[in-house]
Structure 1
Amino acid sequence: MRLRSGVFASACLLVQALGVGLFLRGFFPVPVRSLPRSGALAGPPAEPPPTGFSSNWTKVPSPVFKKTVIVLIDALRDDFVFGSKGKRFMPYTTQLVERGTSHSFVAEANAPTVTMPRIKALTTGSIPGFIDVIMNLNSPALLEDNLIQQAKAAGKRIIFYGDDTWVRLFPKQFVEYDGTTSFFVSDYTEVDDNVTRHLDNVMKREDWDLLILHYLGLDHIGHLSGPHSPLIGPKLSEMDNIIKKIHTSLLSKEEGEVASPHLLVVCGDHGMSETGSHGGSSEGEVRTPLLFVSSAFDRAGGLLKPPELVQQTDLAVTLAIGLGLPISRNSVGQLLLPVVQQKTVREQLRYLHLNGFQLSRLLQENMATYEKGKSWIPAV
């Protein structure tokens, strides 16, 4: 009897250990293997050019936009821009969406919906694991190939103001920065004023190529009193005025210029639940607005369509193409084609070729059974 009880107990312990192992394997998945740097940055195979044309498929394309400003509003839900709150409290942004020169999307994030993993997804195009939640409060430098690293290597001058998580992730990439701590969630005023106080000065200057602003106040209000707090409206109005200031400043910079147009990107890292928290996978937490604004785009008009649902990881590859940079080697994102539709068909096909080749190399590296067809992209 004792022997049977011992065997049964041992079997239960074994099953329990296997269950814990399977749970940990799923909860903390093995990350996608990085491609070797030399192989990852090698250009795609040259396509045979048509008669009378020279081939440039192996080169990184020229930048589509001259200067780019990214306004990341922490915990910005999609309905804060595209819903009734947007119409009431963000009239300028709503006008850009409905009648301006813009392209609008709803970007879907993957859990965990906390800041550090979302920044990694936005800059690498990859999907971070749940283990990144542990590192969210003390983020180490990001060593994975990413948009910021590629921009720095290309000689672009990057300025950052906002959540100091960026400074910890990219400690040597910014030519100028001012980080604000996200620890004091009761502060939803000074934490944003510390970012905005730099705007008038930096928008007058020409010594930068990429400006990143990460506002924390909306997220702090969510934690304090939820998405239906009376504090939400004034904060959205504040963000709307900032978007207006940046957009009008970029337009004034283009006056009399023949160079490439500028680009303004408005996005969120994650949303917030009905209780004001985030980290899970509810619709309010994973859906954020993604807005591209540029004089290069056709003016919106006619019947309004609901914004297309895309993946948050699509931003990294789209910005890489827009800035004339190599696509991050672990990116699983797809180019948002409307952002480059002002280019010729041949140029658009070239961008898709680069995106497809990078995805093919990543898939080949991570799947032993993957076999690439001989004519996986047709000659153009």
Structure 2
Amino acid sequence: MSRLIFILLDGLRYDVALSSMGFLNHLIEADKAALYLVKAELPTLSRPGYATLFSGTNSSIHEITTNTYLKPSPVPSLFHLAREKNLRTAAAAYSWISELYNRAPFNPLTEREQENEENPIQFGRFYFEDSYPCTHLFADAESLRKKYDPHLLLIHPMSIDFKGHLYGGDSKEYQQEVMFVDSLLASLIPVWCREGYHIIITSDHGMDEKGMHGGNTLKERQVPLFTITPLIEAGYYRHEIPQTAIAPLAARMMQLENVMPLPFKTWPGWQEEKIVAFKKAR
């Protein structure tokens, strides 16, 4: 069964990813990666965005419309699909991910480290402060990867979003953090590629110049989707694709299409010929 590393860079805008992520853009120029422009679903908030990214549905279906939603997701996720196939799942992620897919509310005293093979996310390292350094987060993820060899590994740093809220999406500090995360990926992606992983890198929402998100502006809605996989031809793809396409794409990469429930099929492009061959619509 194929293995996937899903990297969710919270708060990353498309235009800043295009201009400031030198390593990832190098991979595209070297014909080793692809970049798509994704239109994030409304509202452009984190918890609704997470639910969309891992279910392939929008807020009118998964019914998670605010960041104050404190119950497990009511619709199946990639983690649930993987567990149905007895695949191993892991996440180094913000505590809201644990609340959506393992247990809510999150208890920071007892649930920072989770190891329960009955959970949708079996092995977790969950942080609960937005300022948690991305260096620590990637170290958490590598520890999980090496120890448990998961088929689905989520890596979810908050540092880009944190700097955006502090200084604004047009600030030097926001751009510097994007560049720093790109440099961390430069040290890890070659290792993951040698070991045969499919890789998805995307975001839940963007960030406006004032450090806000939740609305309908381009800076809040346009986010990147980088893919590093033999299933997709390398290159820059300028046409806009829906955020609901990402979960079905991830399921295809993991060969989970035969357990894909109805919510994953709500976007008509979920079929293999349209997911794998996005290049036809350039």
TM-score norm. by structure 2 comes to 0.82
Deviations 1:107-130 (A, max 9, x none): 111211111111111111111149
The 1:223–1:278 alpha-carbon spacing in structure 2 relative to 1, beyond 3 Å, is: same
The 1:116–1:199 alpha-carbon spacing in structure 2 relative to 1, beyond 3 Å, is: closer
Report the Cα distance in structure 1 between the residues aligned to 2:167 and 2:146, rounded to whole angstroms: 37
Pairing partner for 2:88 from 134, 149, 157:
157
Q: Note if contact 2:141-2:155 (Cα within 8 Å) is conserved in structure 1.
A: no
Report the Cα distance in structure 2 between the residues aligned to 1:110 and 1:233, rounded to whole angstroms: 23
Pairing partner for 2:29 from 77, 90, 98:
98
Deviation at residue 296 of structure 1 after TM alignment: 5.4
Partner of 1:79: 15
**The 10-residue stretch of structure 1 (222-231 or 263-272) with the greater mean CA deviation from structure 2:** 222-231
Partner of 2:211: 276
Partner of 2:186: 244
The 1:283–1:299 alpha-carbon spacing in structure 2 relative to 1, beyond 3 Å, is: closer
Unaligned runs of 5+ in 1: 1-62, 255-261, 343-380
1:128-167 matched pairs, under 5 angstroms: 128-129=59-60, 132-134=64-66, 136-167=67-98
Deviation at residue 203 of structure 1 after TM alignment: 4.4
Pairing partner for 2:120 from 134, 155, 173:
173
Report the Cα distance in structure 2 between the residues aligned to 1:223 and 1:207, rounded to whole angstroms: 34
Report the Cα distance in structure 2 between the residues aligned to 1:131 and 1:339, rounded to whole angstroms: 25
Q: Note if contact 1:147-1:328 (Cα within 8 Å) is conserved in structure 2.
A: no
Matching of residue 194 in structure 1 with residue 136 in structure 2: yes
1:1-380 matched pairs, under 5 angstroms: 66-82=2-18, 84=19, 86=20, 90-129=21-60, 132-134=64-66, 136-171=67-102, 172-182=119-129, 184=130, 187=131, 190-205=132-147, 207-254=149-196, 262-295=197-230, 297-298=232-233, 300=235, 306-325=237-256, 326-331=259-264, 332-333=266-267, 334-335=269-270, 337=273, 340-341=276-277
Give 3-state SS (helix, strand or coil) of 1:223's partner: helix
Report the Cα distance in structure 1 between the residues aligned to 2:230 and 2:55, rounded to whole angstroms: 27
Q: Note if contact 1:145-1:329 (Cα within 8 Å) is conserved in structure 2.
A: no
The 1:338–1:246 alpha-carbon spacing in structure 2 relative to 1, beyond 3 Å, is: farther
The 1:119–1:328 alpha-carbon spacing in structure 2 relative to 1, beyond 3 Å, is: farther
Deviations 1:298-348 (A, max 9, x none): 554xxxx55321000001111122212222312322237576359xxxxxx
Higher strand share: 2
Deviation at residue 173 of structure 1 after TM alignment: 1.2
The 1:244–1:337 alpha-carbon spacing in structure 2 relative to 1, beyond 3 Å, is: farther
> What residue identity is the alignment partner of 2:263?
N
Report the Cα distance in structure 2 between the residues aligned to 1:142 and 1:248, rounded to whole angstroms: 34
Report the Cα distance in structure 2 between the residues aligned to 1:226 and 1:246, rounded to whole angstroms: 28
> What residue identity is the alignment partner of 1:179?
F
Report the Cα distance in structure 1 between the residues aligned to 2:249 and 2:79, rounded to whole angstroms: 13
CA RMSD of aligned residues (A): 2.4
TM-score norm. by structure 1 comes to 0.62
Larger Rg: 1
Aligned length: 256
Report the Cα distance in structure 2 between the residues aligned to 1:200 and 1:122, rounded to whole angstroms: 22
Deviation at residue 242 of structure 1 after TM alignment: 2.7
Partner of 1:50: none
Partner of 2:112: none
Report the Cα distance in structure 2 between the residues aligned to 1:225 and 1:341, rounded to whole angstroms: 39
Deviations 1:134-161 (A, max 9, x none): 4x23431113122221111111111101
Report the Cα distance in structure 2 between the residues aligned to 1:120 and 1:200, rounded to whole angstroms: 24
The 1:248–1:203 alpha-carbon spacing in structure 2 relative to 1, beyond 3 Å, is: farther
> What residue identity is the alignment partner of 2:143?
N
Report the Cα distance in structure 2 between the residues aligned to 1:97 and 1:338, rounded to whole angstroms: 21
Bigger RCO (CA 8 Å, 6+ sep) = 2
